[in-house]
Structure 1
Amino acid sequence: MNEEKQKHEKDLEVNSFIPLYQQLYDNIRKQITVGIYKPGDKLPSEGDLCKEFNVSRITVRNALKQLVEEEILCKKRGKGTYVTIPARVEALCAGNSFTNSCHRINAKPSTRIITTSIEKANKAASEALNIEQDDKVICIKRLRLIDDVPVIFEIDYFRMEYMFLLKEDLEDASLMETISKNISTQPKRVEDVFEVKYSNKEYSDLLKCATNMPLLKVRQLVYAENDEVLYYNEQYIRSDKYKYAVSANI
């Protein structure tokens, strides 16, 4: 019997007035709190927990049931029990910047560039950028992650005068700050349109979610100080992992 197992068994007092399942619940929750089990980690099987803590299967099931009901754990059919990955709520004071929002909620932002290309504008991009359909545009596809968990797949469209973006290192960079650094015009405001889009295979592979899972689709226009459209983007958001926040004066 190893030292860690002995410690766990000492934590569960058979003669205590506190039920064993409640003691086990407290023990597992403490291990999650101190980081022994982290969000996304898989717990040992029910059988392994029975052996580890020297308790019955019904005791283990009651403890896990309580943790699942409190959304601390989640069960995945045929796969096991996992520590829940909490949804992050966008900071309203972050100025519509994903990077700033993550910093304000004490999370680690990262960006993975999927592709950068020059292609013909589709109907949505041409209307948003006020150009002819089939005119060339710069298209940047990015995956946004919080604490290494993918939460947003984003497609950004720019007019051809933004060729400097193809020379920039955009990995883990703020797009708005990069634009501000290269041109005198500053991003001023955004307009968002929301709808539900069911995930296709491309989005599911990138966002690590099931095909046909409902995603929040945001169509966004980013305006400069002179009210000219700087760029247009489409964001596909796993709203179970990241809550998009909007504030408005009325």
Structure 2
Amino acid sequence: MKVEYDNLTPLYDQVRHLLLRDIKEGRFQRGSYLPSEPDLCEHYDVSRITLRRAVRELCEAGYLKRVHGRGTLVTEPKVEQTLVSLSGFTESLTSSGHKVRYAVLDSAVQASSNDAKERLKATGSDQLVGIRRLLLVDGRPLTLEDLYFLESRHGRVAEPVSKGGSFNQALKSLYGEEPKAAERAINVDFPSAAECELLACTASQPVYRIEKLVLGKGRKPISFSVLITPCDRVTYSISS
């Protein structure tokens, strides 16, 4: 599709919109390079000046990246997450306009994680519920999560969460509880072979490995998670 010269929308904005549509529809796939400038100018029926402004704006938005000596690479904007937010992934990403879903990979009562039991302050008789799930954002793997909570305290959330539901939403609807605080420890690591397969990344790509303890009223532990996210897919910010 070419630009419309009788349209009041500026030409560069029309080209930006058409390029973005072609990226999202897969005409220009992530990881590939755009055609040459002359070819794109002919395709959209615009000048190089107009095309370059549209490309520059898409580079600034994170959809494209100029690679010296190679051309313009089709990329994908990083997902933005605020570290101090108490919102769950589902809530915060959905509110940003993303399509979010969880693919549950495994669910078990009596999960074995001494670290999780210690962080949740479990007693000898407490059973640990463990759920491994993959967060997909706009159809793309973003985060692998191992989520733990105690069956004696919040066992009823296991069923809805095991079906792909939001932990925070289930917690509120079934127990009337909401997170009051969260503690996070962030490290940069390299993924294992199994993690590479699930996250569709390579062993040389660094990942964020985050341990997250969610606390309720009176700083009572609610859940403990280990979250693994490729560094090139997310930007973490802190506001104060």
TM-score normalized by the length of structure 2: 0.71
> Is this contact kept in 1: 2:211–2:227, CA < 8 A?
yes
Task: State which of 12, 19, 22 in structure 2 corresponds to 1:36.
Answer: 22
> Is this contact kept in 2: 1:126–1:133, CA < 8 A?
no
- The CA deviation at 1:152 is 0.9
> Is this contact kept in 2: 1:217–1:235, CA < 8 A?
yes
Task: State which of 146, 159, 164 in structure 1 corresponds to 2:150.
Answer: 159
Corresponding residue of 1:122: 113
C-alpha distance in 2 between matches for 1:169 and 1:242: 23
Corresponding residue of 1:197: 189
> Is this contact kept in 2: 1:107–1:146, CA < 8 A?
yes
Corresponding residue of 1:168: 160
Q: Which runs of 5+ in 2 are unaligned?
A: 6-10
- The CA deviation at 1:205 is 1.3
Task: State which of 206, 211, 215 in structure 1 corresponds to 2:198.
Answer: 206
Q: RMSD of the TM alignment (CA)?
A: 3.8
- The CA deviation at 1:140 is 0.5
- The CA deviation at 1:103 is 2.7
- Cα displacement string for residues 117-168 of structure 1 (whole angstroms, at most 9, x for unaligned residues): 1244323212212236997411011111221121111111111223323332
Say whether 1:96 aligns with 2:83. Answer: no
Aligned residues: 217
- Cα displacement string for residues 74-95 of structure 1 (whole angstroms, at most 9, x for unaligned residues): 599xxx9752111021257853
Task: State which of 221, 226, 240 in structure 1 corresponds to 2:232.
Answer: 240
> Is this contact kept in 1: 2:84–2:238, CA < 8 A?
no
SS in 1 for 2:105: strand
- The CA deviation at 1:216 is 0.8
Q: How does 1:4-153 map to 2 (within 5 A)?
A: 29-33=16-20, 35-38=21-24, 41-42=28-29, 53=42, 72-73=63-64, 83-91=74-82, 95-131=86-122, 136-153=127-144
Say whether 1:182 aligns with 2:180. Answer: no
Task: State which of 204, 219, 223 in structure 1 corresponds to 2:211.
Answer: 219
TM-score normalized by the length of structure 1: 0.69
Question: Which structure would you say has the larger Rg?
Answer: 1
Q: Which runs of 5+ in 1 are unaligned?
A: 12-22
> Is this contact kept in 1: 2:126–2:150, CA < 8 A?
no
Label 1:82 to 1:115 Cα distance change in 2 as closer, same or farther (>3 A): farther
